[in-house]
């Protein structure tokens, strides 16, 4: 016999990262905003391939997260930066 139960939808993982950056990890968010402003000042894009490749390598090496988790974390960071420092490109 199969018993059906209503499923509870989990929010996407990136939303958890966004909320974390906007909350308890706000200092990490502000650090990313600061780096983004400096890169923009030098004519570089924070979200450009060159910088993001360096960040990804460093984060994945230091934390051991999978590509998928890194992708979700980066999307959460982008959403948080859109709130905290929308001028950063």
Residues 6+ apart with CB under 8 A from 45: 39, 51, 89
Residue 50 CB partners (closer than 8 Å, separation 6+): 44
How many angstroms separate the most distant Cα atoms in the chain? 65
Distance between CA atoms of residues 15 and 61, nearest Å: 23
* Residue 46 placed within a domain: yes
Segment 3-20, tens digit of pLDDT: 555 556 677 899 999 999
The structural domain count of the chain equals 1
Instruction: Say what the alpha-carbon torsion angle 16, 70, 84, 13 is, to the nearest 10 degrees.
Output: -20
- Two tokens, residue 58: 């460093």
7: in domain = no
pTM of the model: 0.82
Is there a domain that residue 4 lies in?
no
Over residues 19-54, the pLDDT tens digits come to 999 999 999 999 999 999 999 999 999 999 888 998
Which tokens hold the place of 33?
């905003």
For residue 89, being part of any structural domain is answered with: no
Which residues span the domain enclosing 72? 13-84
């Amino acid at each position: 016999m199969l018993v059906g139960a209503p499923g509870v939808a989990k929010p996407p993982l990136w939303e958890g990262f966004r909320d974390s950056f906007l909350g308890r990890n706000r200092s990490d968010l502000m650090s990313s905003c600061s780096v983004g402003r400096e890169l923009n000042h030098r004519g570089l894009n924070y979200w450009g391939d060159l910088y993001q490749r360096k960040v990804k390598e460093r984060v994945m090496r230091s934390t051991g997260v999978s590509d998928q988790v890194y992708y979700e974390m980066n999307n959460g960071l982008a959403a948080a930066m859109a709130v905290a420092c929308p001028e950063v490109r």
